[in-house]
Amino acid sequence: MKKIVTVIGARPQFIKAAPVSKALIEAGIEEVLVHSGQHYDANMSDVFWQELGIPEVKYHLQVGSGTHAQQTSQIMVKFEKILLDEESHVDAVLVYGDTNTTLGVALVASKLNIPIIHVEAGLRSFNREMPEEINRILTDNISEYLFCSSEVSIAQLKKENIQGKAFKVGDVMYDAFLLFSEMSQDKPSNKISEDPFSIFTLHRQSNTKDANQVSRIIRQLEAVPHKVLWPIHPRIAQWKDDLEIPSNVELIEPIGYLEMLQALQECKFVFTDSGGLQKEAYWARKQCFTLRDDTEWVETLEGGWNTLIKLNSETIADKISNEPSTPWKPLYGDGQAAYKIAEILK
C-alpha cells in the first residue's frame, strides 16, 4: 500500500483535505495526517473535524502564531523529526495551497528526497510582497506532482518551466462546496441574520497591521445599504474596542464551514480578502468584492462576478453598484477533483 503524509494547518486546508482524504482512502492509499497548528483557535480548527469528517490527526506540531520565519522554521524542525521517526517508508508528502505550513513541509520533504504533491499549484497573483506568493512559487518549483485548478495554472507552470508533472483536475474546494452545501441547510445557524445581509471577512497580514488600518477598511462598509455580518478573525479581535465600526456592521464569532456555506446561500454580497471565499462566493453565484490589489483567482474577475477594491485608490462605494455583466458559468472543474487526484497518485 502506498503511503502519503499530508500536512494541513489553516482553515482552507482543512476544507480541501475533507474530500481528498476520503478519495485517498477509497483508492487504497494510506494517509498519515499531520496538523501544523498554524490555525489553532477552536473556531478556526477543531470545528472542521466535527463538521467535515476529516480523519484523525496522527501528529500535531503545535507551532501556533509567530513571524513567518518563526512559523516556517518550527514547522521544518518538528516535521523533519516526524518523517525520520516514521517506521515504514513514506512514498510522498502532500501539501495544499500557499501557507507557511505548505512551504516549510515542502522544504523538509525536498531535503529528504521525498516526492512532494502540491494541490492547488500554479496560482499567481504576481505580487511578491505577498508571503503567499513566495510560498506558491517555491513549493511549485520543488514539487513532483502539481495538481491545478484551471488551464491558466497549467499555462503558468509551463511558462515558468516548472519541472514537475502538472495535471488539470479542477478545484478540491469545489468538491467540498458541492458535498457540504446541502448538509449546511439541515443545520440552521443562529448567527445568520433573517434580515438582508452581506458577509465580510478580513485576515491578510497586509490588511491587518494595526487597528487604524482595519478601521480604515471597515469604515467603507457604511456604503452597504443593509446589515454586514463580520465573523471577526481572532487576531483582529484583540483590537475590537479600538475599531471604528459602522452601525450596519455586526460582529460575530468565527463561523464553521457549514455555517459559512449557509451564509453564502442567503447573503447579498461578499466582501473579503480571502482567496478561498472568492471562489466560494462565485460558486454560490454571489457577487464578491475583494479587498486587495490583485487576486490569484483571475478567472472570477470575468464579467464582474468578483471585483478588486484597490484600497489606496478605490472604495467599496465606487464599485458596489456595478452588477455582473456576463452570465454565470462553471469554473474550476466538475466537483470530482479529489477522485482524479487519488486515481493519478494510485
Question: pLDDT for 287-315, tens place per residue?
Answer: 999 999 999 999 999 999 999 999 889 99
Is residue 209 over pLDDT 70?
Answer: yes
Terminal alpha carbon distance of the chain: 9
Per-domain boundaries in the chain? 3-168, 182-319
Is residue 138 over pLDDT 90?
Answer: yes
The three grid cell numbers given for residue 251, joined into one nine-digit string: 460582529
What is the arithmetic mean of pLDDT over 135-154?
A: 98
The reply to whether domains 3-168 and 182-319 share a CATH topology is yes
Is residue 93 over pLDDT 80?
Answer: yes
Tell me how far apart the alpha carbons of residues 306 and 319 are, in angstroms, rounded to a whole number.
11
Provide the pLDDT for residue 311: 86
Question: pLDDT for 156-203, tens place per residue?
Answer: 999 999 999 999 999 999 999 999 998 887 766 777 777 899 999 999
Is residue 226 over pLDDT 70?
Answer: yes
Provide the pLDDT for residue 59: 95
Q: Residue 40: which pLDDT band, with cuts at 50, 70 and 90?
A: low
What is the DSSP code (8-state) at residue 53? -
Q: Residue 51: which pLDDT band, with cuts at 50, 70 and 90?
A: confident
Catalytic residue list contains 203:
yes
Label residue 108 exposed, middle or buried (CB < 10 Å: 0-12, 13-18, 19+).
Answer: buried
Is residue 254 over pLDDT 90?
Answer: no
The three grid cell numbers given for residue 119, joined into one nine-digit string: 494541490
Looking at 64-68, 142-146, 282-286, 334-338, which range is the least confident one? Answer: 64-68
Q: Residue 17: which pLDDT band, with cuts at 50, 70 and 90?
A: very high
Is residue 43 over pLDDT 70?
Answer: no
For the 3-168 domain, the top CATH level (class) is alpha beta
Provide the pLDDT for residue 4: 97
What is the DSSP code (8-state) at residue 226? S
Catalytic pick from 35, 39, 118, 203? Answer: 203
Provide the pLDDT for residue 167: 98
- CATH 3.40.50.2000 is the classification of domain 182-319: yes
The three grid cell numbers given for residue 155, joined into one nine-digit string: 499555462
Provide the pLDDT for residue 173: 97
Contacts of 241 (CB under 8 A, 6+ apart): none
The three grid cell numbers given for residue 140, joined into one nine-digit string: 511549485
Provide the pLDDT for residue 29: 97
